[in-house]
A = this chain, B = another copy of it.
């Protein structure tokens, strides 16, 4: 099966969680973000060129199907690319962890957009600063502590079972993003959570992931993206 990934050009964003699954799964795919008319083509579907239109990118074309919502795409790819357990309980548990990663990503995004996605960061800087301080002191430790605990209960090497799942790939991407956005707090937090740090290393040492990250297709973290480095936020 050849896939087509639709996501905004110039950022990793939520599309990156899908890319990491496609890459680790060895899938053949076309990344529309790399094509010159990407934005136009994305908008066609958003404005209704599909019987089941997505609300927002990323979405994945798989044959005649168009699948939206990052976690839903990963639920689909988990089965297709064997990046999740095959039994029903393991499949749902992996998805539950992914949804918790997605909630974490939403909160990371909201640090620089506390007043909502319709205003620029520059119009909400004092509010961002307050939210950043709550995030780093309260929310980030809560999420990281949760995932560290899940890995520990699972025997230490991954979130679910022995093999890596798409939830591990996504969590490792979040850790890399946090290191970019909040370097001091993240380094401190991961020093006390060795299983998370080891998971990040394990994921980024996978041959296919490593090859992808070293390729020009992997964009750098940047401040138009979900993870943003604003030193004025105090980290």
Contacts and interface: CB of A to CB of B under 8 A. Distances in A.
A178 B67 CA distance: 28
B53 A75 contact: no
A95 to B, nearest CB: 5
A180 B36 CA distance: 46
A185 to B, nearest CB: 15
Interface in A45-67: 48, 51-55, 65, 67
Interface in A67-105: 67-69, 71-72, 75-76, 89, 92-93, 95-96, 99-100, 103
Given A118-B138, A131-B116, A139-B118, A71 B48 contact: no
Nearest to A54: B96
Interface string A139-151: 1000100100110
Contact of A117 (B55, B93, B96, B139): B139
Given A48-B149, A115-B134, A138-B118, A67 B55 contact: no
Contact of A72 (B65, B96, B114): B96
Given A116-B134, A135-B116, A99 B48 contact: no
A4 interface: no
Given A114-B127, A127-B115, A146-B55, A100 B69 contact: yes
A130 interface: yes
Interface of A: 48, 51-55, 65, 67-69, 71-72, 75-76, 89, 92-93, 95-96, 99-100, 103, 106-107, 110, 114-119, 127, 130-131, 134-135, 138-139, 143, 146, 149-150, 153
28 contacts: A48-B153, A52-B96, A53-B149, A53-B150, A53-B153, A54-B96, A55-B143, A65-B89, A67-B96, A69-B95, A72-B92, A72-B99, A76-B92, A106-B106, A107-B116, A110-B110, A114-B114, A114-B115, A115-B127, A115-B130, A115-B131, A115-B134, A116-B131, A116-B134, A116-B138, A116-B139, A118-B134, A119-B134
